[in-house]
Chain A
Amino acid sequence: MFSLIENEVIKMISKKRLLFVIAILVALISVFAYGQHHSSERIKTQLSQRMGISATTDWHKLADQQLIELKNRLDSPYRDEKDKSALRVRIEQLQYNLDNDINPLEQSAAKFTTKFMEQSIFLFLPLLIIMLASDMVSGESSSGTIKLLLVRNVPRWKVLLSKFLTLIMLEIIVLFFAFVLSEIISGLFFGFGGWNAPVATGFKLVAGKLDTSSVLNVPQWRYTLMVYSLAFFVSFVVGSISFMISVLVRSTAASIGIIMSTLVAGNFISYFLSDWKITRYMFMVNLRLTDYLSGSFQPIEGMTLLFSILVLLGWASASIIISFVYFTKKDILV
């Protein structure tokens, strides 16, 4: 088993596909980091135009004032208890910025690394995974090498399992590179700090409304870890589904085409069919898991992180079962 996986991994390395994925990552991250750098500079000039130079350089004063305001607000007897934890979180963040001399307008590598994954979790990351996953089996079918694999004295399910485990390992490698590369590249632009800054999370959905009563601050590194973990889960699900398609379909091109069009369609299906309840059971609309952490999701009754995870898990396990059943039963004629 172990040597089977080793064999698969070495095959993937020599196919240069992983290298290609990393190259795409480097190119895109560089462009994004530059763009972020550029736009944050622009925002700063706009701000200083509107509010005078002092607003951007002398942000301490502004933050101090905001802090006093927030504290006053917290003490106001006319305020709902529910709003208060959001205020407390905001106060903690401001206090941290003041204590550690961090201009809230400045970007940091930690922020960028997280943001990059939050933005790519629903489309870009799945596409990278598809590039790796969709030819794992169909590639062997179309080139005929699958025969060589199956004539060995190894049960078929073991062959498929080794391929599947290889896929999971590669998903982790892709995430690892996405993390390391965006940290390094954005670090060159924004500096390498910011891992202890507090980030607000813990938003909930109560009766169809965003509930901020349980919001709390977690350090940036923990938040980033959660984001990347959810990203790993998403790539596991997307990987499993495209793995299934690659088992079912013989040509790699068709298999990439099918899963990619489904994925892209899913991104606008939620706009057009938002009031159609069945869409929430599609895997494509559930990919934005990190939105639940950041509280930036559209509140839809019944959609929570746990719900999305369960839906995705259902899709993944169905695809895995189908792939194994089909692969062990089918006749291979090459």
Chain B
Amino acid sequence: MFKKSMWYSILVIAFVGFVILANGFYQAILVTTQANPQPTSESAPLESAADLTPSSKNPNTIQMLILGDSVAKGTGDEKSKGFSGYLSEYLKNNTSKEIIADNAGIDGLESTGLLEQLQSHRLEEQLTHTDIILVSIGGNDIRSILTLNSFDKENEFKVRLDRYLSNLKLTFKELRRTNPNSIIIFLGLYNPYEKATNLVDSQLLNSWNFNTQQLVETDGKAIFIPTYDLFKYNTERFVAQDGLHPNSAGYQAISNRISRSLEMIIAGL
């Protein structure tokens, strides 16, 4: 009797299960093969945003172009201003000219991506007329080696650094090809994980910054702005909730530093 009822319940479960699973199987095939089911409607407003960028050089304006990763973009700033906000505010207060800031920062961009972005000539228009170029890149190149063990870390670091430096060299070449006269501000890397970092990691980061600075110096009109020292004992104050990006105060601190370094140059623009 017990076996009989067991047999019936197995039969029922198996039958119902089969129907359900067959249905699921069909859905699984559908979902991986079917064409894009999502509506792509947001192309119209993007066009107009691109149109806003002025096409000719105006003597009464200072144009600023911000390139690079999330830090360039201003990720983490709770006021959503970033450099395009704070730096243009400063410029506005210290010159009589109008400030136009273009922000082309992309979260998660690595040096390879920046180079591709420039080589694709999508930014050609803005690049030719800009007076100041602010670049922040490299953080995403170096970040992922943090999780490696110490042996792999040093090897991988060398590989990444070499790739990064050669990308950077080409990036500068590309920038100078389109715009030989603008001033390039290059941001150094800070360490958002100050509390959880050992000596080796700090040294690697410093050698990364040092190599970057050496390369930036080879360009005659570029300046390397360090941020490492600024953040070292200020991570609590300057790093955003996400534990990685600067917060509003952090962006402001870096912007202050940039404007101090460029006072004379800005006066001459």
Residues on A facing B (Cβ under 8 Å) = 6, 9-10, 13-14, 49-51, 54-55, 61-62, 65-66, 68-69, 72-79, 81, 84-85, 88, 168-170, 172-173, 175-176, 201-204, 213-214, 216, 218, 222, 225-226, 228-230, 232-233, 289, 292-293, 304-306, 309
Partner of B78, one of A49, A65, A77, A309: A65
- B10: chain A residues at CB < 8 Å are 9, 13, 169, 173
Q: Is B40 an interface residue (CB 8 A)?
A: yes
Q: CA separation between A329 and B162, bound complex, in Å?
A: 68
Q: CA separation between A276 and B147, bound complex, in Å?
A: 31
- A309: chain B residues at CB < 8 Å are 29
Verify A50–B242 contact, CB threshold 8 A: no
Partner of A81, one of B27, B40, B117: B40
Verify B20–A77 contact, CB threshold 8 A: no
Given contact pairs A226-B28, A305-B28, A65 touches B193 in the complex (Cβ within 8 A): no
User: 11 more A-B contacts (CB under 8 A) besides A84-B40, A222-B27, A305-B33?
Assistant: A13-B3, A51-B243, A75-B46, A169-B14, A172-B14, A172-B17, A201-B31, A218-B31, A229-B25, A230-B25, A304-B32
Closest Cβ–Cβ distance, residue A236 to chain B (whole Å): 10
Q: Is B50 an interface residue (CB 8 A)?
A: yes
Q: CA separation between A76 and B84, bound complex, in Å?
A: 14
Closest Cβ–Cβ distance, residue B65 to chain A (whole Å): 11
Residues on B facing A (Cβ under 8 Å) = 3, 6-7, 10-11, 13-14, 17-18, 20-25, 27-29, 31-38, 40, 42-43, 45-46, 49-50, 73, 75-76, 78, 80, 104, 106-107, 117, 122-123, 193, 195-196, 240-243
- B18: chain A residues at CB < 8 Å are 168, 172
Considering only CB atoms, which chain B residue lies closest to A225 in the complex? B24
Given contact pairs A229-B21, A229-B25, A69 touches B32 in the complex (Cβ within 8 A): no
Closest Cβ–Cβ distance, residue B159 to chain A (whole Å): 21
Closest Cβ–Cβ distance, residue B197 to chain A (whole Å): 11
Closest Cβ–Cβ distance, residue A175 to chain B (whole Å): 7
Q: CA separation between A77 and B48, bound complex, in Å?
A: 10
| 25 CB < 8 A contacts A-B | A9-B7, A9-B10, A10-B3, A50-B193, A55-B243, A65-B241, A69-B76, A75-B49, A78-B104, A78-B117, A78-B123, A85-B40, A170-B14, A172-B17, A202-B31, A216-B31, A225-B20, A225-B24, A226-B27, A228-B21, A229-B20, A229-B23, A229-B24, A232-B21, A233-B25
Partner of A232, one of B3, B7, B25, B50: B25
